[in-house]
Amino acid sequence: MKKLFFLIVAIFFPLFVTIGQTTIPNHRWFDEARFGMFIHFGPYAVLADGEWIMNQKPYKVDDYMKLQQIFNPSCFDADAWVSLAKAAGMKYIVFTSRHHDGFSNWDTKLSDWNIMNTPYAKDLISQLAEACRKQEMKLGFYYSLLDWSRNDYAYETGRTGKNVGRTVQGNWNDYIEFMKGQLTELLTNYGDVSLIWFDGEWDQMPHNASSHEESAVDWHFSEIYELIHALQPNCMIANNHHLDPLPGEDYQAFERDLPGRNTAGYSEHATVSKLLPLETCQTINGSWGYKLQDNRYKSLTELIHYLISAAGYGSNLLLNVGPESTGRIDSLSSELLCGMGEWLNRFGYTIYGTSGGHIPPQSWGAITRKDQTYYIHILEKESDKLSIFFPGNIISARWVNVEEKLRWSRDEKTGIVTFFLDVPLDEIDSIIELSSNNLIQNIK
Ligand code: GLC
């Protein structure tokens, strides 16, 4: 068993390496948040087929832009979105300010392709910022680096947006200036912005690229990051490029996978940073933007398990909802989110403000830690006994939510603690709280 433990550590630990370090003065809230709401919303919601539909169908730019006369989120209620995030136990919201179709959800002066020119004609971001301020919710913006509607985006070297009918080529430097101008608007007109979440660098990379050097364009990231930090020194920067973090990035984002895993195929070339805070984003069903035919909702248990596993890696979970074109969040998503909130109301203290355990999540579950208290979350009972290596003395160990006395024993020679699970366990997560007098190093 001891051998097995060291084998696991030897396999796993090299994945967590020292790259990047946040320079943000105030990022503690993010380190402790553990749970946020991702919201994908834009004119694509009208077509109800996900946020990639312009590229997939494909729609010519001129045809797609007809959505500007149709998109009318008349039921949008910023307070209701924020209240739902609160009820779910979420600590921050990341909203798509502008996705790959290039549509801006705010009153930008730099493009006419924006919410003010729809029948709705109101700034979504100012309403959301106001609601977040009122309800003390952190707010950040997703911002697409790639653009399927502009001519000055380098579409000829891009991998996507090839068939949307662009023939005129603009100037790349104009595009960089446009992005800087838009980011300046977002960071000056809407109060505190907690983070900017970039996406789309991969569009200019050969398939399965392993380094930033392979980009066909110069993204001017260092200038853009400096601008953001100059405008708002506490604004954290993340970039969903699927590669190692660049200087100036304040946390590392993973898409559809827990840090160090690669089941979705995006994370092969991303080494997990030991220093930067982590976040994994995931969909509540299978889609980011609203999709009528997507009924693949994850169960409440699956969602709670994902949150616990993320926490076991020392990572936040950014869970997505894609509101309907009217602005309403569908009732099944709301129900699932409220269910998560109810669970967090009872057991959130084993998740928020914790670090990852001293061993990474395993097939049976995950460990989180607060100082010298460990929370062992048993998600799958694999046998009547569970053995885990713990150095140091154990002061106490008890079940948090199982109505039995915890039985456990410790092998003093190996430091392996065995917990006896031959009792009726909790259906979602049976939690053991263990206090130790030995501060062993956690993975994050
Ligand atoms: C991918 C998709 C994008 C989505 C993002 C969220 O990069 O291109 O549509 O917004 O993942 O993680």
Domains along the sequence of the chain with CATH: 26-353 (3.20.20.80), 365-436 (2.60.40)
DSSP lists the bridge partners of residue 378 as 365, 430
The residues, ordered by sequence, that sit 6+ positions from 412 with a Cβ below 8 Å of its Cβ are none
240, 285, 291, best to mutate for ligand 1 pocket (most atoms within 8 Å of CB)? 240
Closest atom of ligand 1 to 255 CA is 12
Residue 288 near ligand 1, beta carbon < 6 Å: yes
- CB of 51 within 6 A of ligand 1: the answer is yes
SS3 call for 128: helix
HSE of 443 in the Cβ direction (CA atoms, 13 Å)?
Answer: 30
| Residue 328: pLDDT band with limits 50, 70, 90 | very high
CB 331 within 8 A of CB 320: no
Q: What is the predicted pLDDT for the residue at 23? A: 74
Question: Contact at 8 Å (CB) between 341 and 87?
Answer: yes
End-to-end Cα separation, the chain, in angstroms: 23
Q: Over the stretch 173-203, which tens digit does the pLDDT of each residue have? A: 999 999 999 999 999 999 999 999 999 999 9
- C-alpha distances in Å from residue 392, one per residue of 4, 6, 387, 389, 410: 19, 17, 15, 10, 11
Scanning the structure block, which residue is given the tokens 């696991």?
Answer: 8
Supply the pTM of this predicted model.
0.95
Report the distance separating Cα 136 and Cα 309, nearest Å: 27
Q: What 3-state class would DSSP assign to 351?
A: coil
Mutate to test the pocket of ligand 1, among 38, 94, 199, 319 (most ligand atoms within 8 A of CB): 199
Return phi, psi of residue 213, to 5°. Answer: -60, -20
- How far, in Å, are 194, 260, 291, 361 from residue 64 at the CA level? 32, 38, 17, 44
Per-residue DSSP letter, 249: -
- Give the residue, out of 288, 294, 317, 319, with the most ligand 1 atoms within 8 A of its beta carbon, to mutate for a pocket test: 288
Q: Of all atoms in ligand 1, which is nearest to the CA of residue 40? A: 10
Asked whether 240 lines ligand 1 (CB < 6 A), one says yes
Residue 120, both tokens: 């709705």
Q: What is the pLDDT of residue 442?
A: 57
Written as one string, the DSSP assignment of 156-207 is TT-SS-TTS-------HHHHHHHHHHHHHHHHHHSS---EEEEE-GGGGS-T
Residue 291 pLDDT more than 80? Answer: yes
In this prediction, residue 2 carries a pLDDT of 44
In 10 A of CB 354, how many CB atoms?
25
Digit-coded pLDDT (tens) for 120-133 = 999 999 999 999 99
CA of 129 to the centre of ligand 1 (A): 22
Give the position, in ligand 1's atom list, of the atom nearest the Cα of 202. Answer: 7
Tokens standing for residue 372: 């010298």
Cα distances (angstroms) measured from residue 301 to each of 280, 294, 340, 362, 409:
18, 19, 9, 17, 30
* Mean pLDDT of the region 230-247: 97
Q: How far is the CA of 51 from the centre of ligand 1 (A)?
A: 8
Cα-only R_g, the chain: 23
CA of 102 to the centre of ligand 1 (A): 14
> Ligand 1 centre and the CA of 207: distance in Å?
16
In degrees rounded to 5, what are phi and psi of residue 211? -145, 155
Q: How far apart are CA 103 and CA 115, in angstroms?
A: 8
**Residue 52 CA, closest ligand 1 atom number:** 9
CA distance 134 to 76: 17
Q: What is the pLDDT of residue 347?
A: 98
Ligand 1 centroid to Cα of residue 2, in Å, is 41
- The mean pLDDT value of the chain amounts to 94
Q: Which two tokens stand for residue 382?
A: 């694999």
118 alpha carbon – ligand 1 mean position (Å) = 24
Q: What is the pLDDT of residue 320?
A: 98
Q: What is the atom index within ligand 1 of the atom nearest the CA of 200?
A: 7
Q: How many CA atoms lie within 13 A of 226 on its CB side?
A: 4
Ligand 1 atom closest to residue 253's alpha carbon, by position in its atom list:
12
CB of residue 281 inside a 6 A radius of ligand 1: yes
Ligand 1 atom with least separation from CA of 51: 9
Other C-beta atoms lying within 10 Å of the C-beta of residue 392: 12
On the question of pLDDT at 7 being above 90, the answer is no
Residue 13: predicted pLDDT: 42
Q: At what angle do helices 78-87 and 331-347 cross, to 10 degrees?
A: 40
Give the amino acid at 428. Answer: I
Mapped onto helix, strand or coil, the DSSP state of residue 407 is coil
Question: Which residue, judged by its Cα, is nearest atom 11 of ligand 1?
Answer: 255
Atom number in ligand 1 closest to CA 96:
10
CA 399/CA 386 separation, integer angstroms: 14
Query: Ligand 1 pocket, 255 CB below 6 A?
Result: yes
